[in-house]
Structure 1
């Protein structure tokens, strides 16, 4: 169990944006979904979706704007939306506690897994090297989470040379990113993508 946690660990400290709402029930345990906002140094707020068990919050009174600490793992699951497969990405909370006013925002992710798709290198409009990778991270019961990651600069060049099946360790942050998408009827809608922004990686 400890080994599984060490290959997929997320630490968040931020502000409650949306209060817990019923998500689902599994093996008699009730789970809720909520959103925690974590600010970057630039001032941009990453809105992180969190899934949390009722047993972690049943005796805690929460309000929007409260600061909290969450320790857990990134989990992914597929969902059919409008006939298409959508990969959902959340932080599954294992520990949760209020942190009080003045707490620093924290957004740390540690992953160890295997490259499961060929890396995709590209260049940003500002000329910066970028590389998108998909990391398969094992968890209990012979399951895996497929986690999209993005590398920048030297890390992007390094990631672009990796082969499918390569085992790597990465650290960084979980980020949210809004983008525009035009639907088949011509309507332009705003979507949110979630990914791990890599600050360090090694084989």
Structure 2
């Protein structure tokens, strides 16, 4: 006679749900980022994609649990980049130092190149050598387009979505690219444009080749920046109240497409 095994608690889902709840302050915040990693680049700029911006653009290196390294883009206004003790931010934040920051996911289109910059706009930043590595993105918004389901050359099922959030720099809206994996991708593929969602993920980068000329077959290597979804669900609104049912979570870490 076989013994029935007790259902084991899903610690990963519980942990992710706790992080999501903390970042969104129990659903009161719609766009929140917690990031800590190694600074690899920092440049003082006067604009971002042609939009006036007084501050810095940089990149932070963060490792995934699998060991794959992501390099993510950050933007820091000078009014935010204020260090204690009279030390200039650019002097303290040197490549190799560990940066801790919070902020919001944003996108801006560069109309000259046609490319979209996906970045974190910081509302707090500090040089913190002992900060624990972190890469958590929490978003609440609606699906800007119909989800696109596909399969990678390595056989992984994925669904691409864009979550519409407020653009802090333009007071308009921007669309955050997100990618769902495996069973989660299958579920999200059935959702519709305009559905309201809440999700937790990681800001990740991946290299890909884009065909530049179909006649010659010439290709160009590019880097895609997106939120890899770890936990997602639809928000159902009934009679002015919002409800969140069961969570949809990948069964394993994504990353190798």
TM-score (norm 1): 0.87
Larger radius of gyration: 2
Q: CA RMSD in A?
A: 2.6
CA distance 1:96–1:142, change in 2 (3 Å): closer
2:164 is aligned with 1:136: yes
Q: Which residue of 2 aligns with 1:16?
A: 39
Q: Does 1:174 align with 2:197?
A: no
Secondary structure at 1:158 match in 2:
helix
Determine the C-alpha separation between the residues in 1 that align with 2:65 and 2:158.
21
Residues 35-71 of structure 1 show CA distances to partners (whole Å, capped at 9, x for unaligned) of: 1111112221111111101123353322110001010
**2:228 aligned residue:** 197
Higher relative contact order (CA 8 A, sep 6+): 1
Q: Which has the higher strand share?
A: 1
Q: Is the 8 A contact 1:29 1:54 kept in 2?
A: no
- Output one character per residue of 1:154-202: Cα deviation in whole Å (capped at 9) or x when no partner: 2111110101110000111111111122333765322111111000011
- Are the equivalent residues in 2 in contact too, given 1:136–1:145 (CA < 8 A)? yes
TM-score by length of 2: 0.70
With over 3 angstroms needed to count, the CA separation of the structure-2 counterparts of 1:187 and 1:81, relative to structure 1, is farther
* C-alpha contact (below 8 Å) 1:23/1:33 kept by paired residues: no
* Of 71-80 and 124-133, the range deviating more from structure 2: 124-133
Unaligned 5+ runs, structure 2: 1-23, 83-87, 235-257
Q: In structure 1, what is the equivalent of residue 73 of structure 2?
A: 49
Q: State the number of aligned residues.
A: 199
Contact 2:46 2:52 in 1 (8 A): no
Matches within 5 A, 1:81-100: 81-82=112-113, 85-100=114-129
Distance 1:62 1:138, change over 3 A: closer
Matched with 1:164 is: 193
